[in-house]
Amino acid sequence: MSRHWVDIAAVGFFVIEWLVYALTLEHSAYGRDSLSARMNRYREVWVRRMLDRDTRMVDMQIMASLQNGTAFFASTSLFALGGALALLHATNDAITILSKLPVDLSTSPAMWELKCVGLVLICVYAFFKFAWAYRLFNYVAILFGGMPAADQRDTPAAEAHVIRTSRLFESAGRHFNRGQRAFFFALGYLGWFVSPWVLFVTTAAVVVVTWRRQFASSAWMAMAAEVDADQGMKRGH
């Protein structure tokens, strides 16, 4: 146990960073200004504007593209799961190859299998998130089909339907984001196959990259409310 303390610390750091990042993004005041949160506001905007038009073929086409993208990631997670299981099955071959490399990457069969099991669990988690997101997008499509007509947009029933659809839409997007996050952290997890010290670095790199995309990217700045105001003023001039 004592000689594996670096591995334990690295995996603990990986898990804690994933949990802290996810909780901060989804359950904190700071996370309510993320790119995902800003996009959630436009999900409701989209649903409300559907009430202004009776012909909604374009809306259903956009929804179909979201479903197809989610199905693609769900299929990809199954392929990744198959690759992880193949690594687990080829433990002896992998250790033999590692022992012949010029860099010392040797490990015990038990440690290699433990690493592979962790990768399998991440892929399984990602698949379940993408599969559930796909199911939720199907439900949203059904609610789109049940959207009240344009001449009923000011009724209490229409308002309730908008709120219901928007909340389900946000839930679908949240689970899709969790699946993608699992993919990103799986890339960082691969660093453990090289060294626990590399896992520290790759985990930190994943957190920095994903944080920047959510809070400091050009996409995040483009979705800022003040950008819309500035553009409106320019159009006025």
Closest CA to 130 of 80, 199, 59, 58: 80
Angle at which helices 35-50 and 156-189 cross, to 10°:
150
Give me the pLDDT at residue 93, please: 80
pLDDT digit string (tens) for the chain, length 237 residues: 556 788 899 999 999 999 999 999 999 999 989 999 989 888 988 998 888 888 888 888 989 999 999 999 999 999 999 999 998 888 888 777 777 766 666 678 888 889 999 999 999 999 999 999 999 999 999 999 888 888 888 899 999 999 999 999 999 999 999 999 999 999 999 999 888 999 999 999 999 999 999 999 999 988 886 654 444 434 444
CA distance to 30, 54, 147, 155, 169, per residue, from 152 (Å): 37, 11, 10, 6, 21
* pLDDT (0 to 100) of residue 229: 44
What does the alpha-carbon distance between residue 131 and residue 73 come to, in Å, rounded to a whole number? 9
Q: Tens of pLDDT along 119-164?
A: 999 999 999 999 999 999 999 999 998 888 888 888 999 999 999 9
Closest to 76 measured CA to CA, from 130, 135, 40: 130
**Confidence at residue 232, expressed as pLDDT on a 0 to 100 scale:** 44
How many CA atoms are closer than 13 Å to the CA of 151, on its beta-carbon side?
0
Instruction: Write a three-state SS string for 196-234.
Output: HHHHHHHHHHHHHHHHHHHHCCHHHHHCCHHHHHHHHHH
pTM score over 0.75: yes
Report the pLDDT value the prediction gives residue 88, as an integer from 0 to 100. 86
- For the chain, the domains span 3-63+128-225
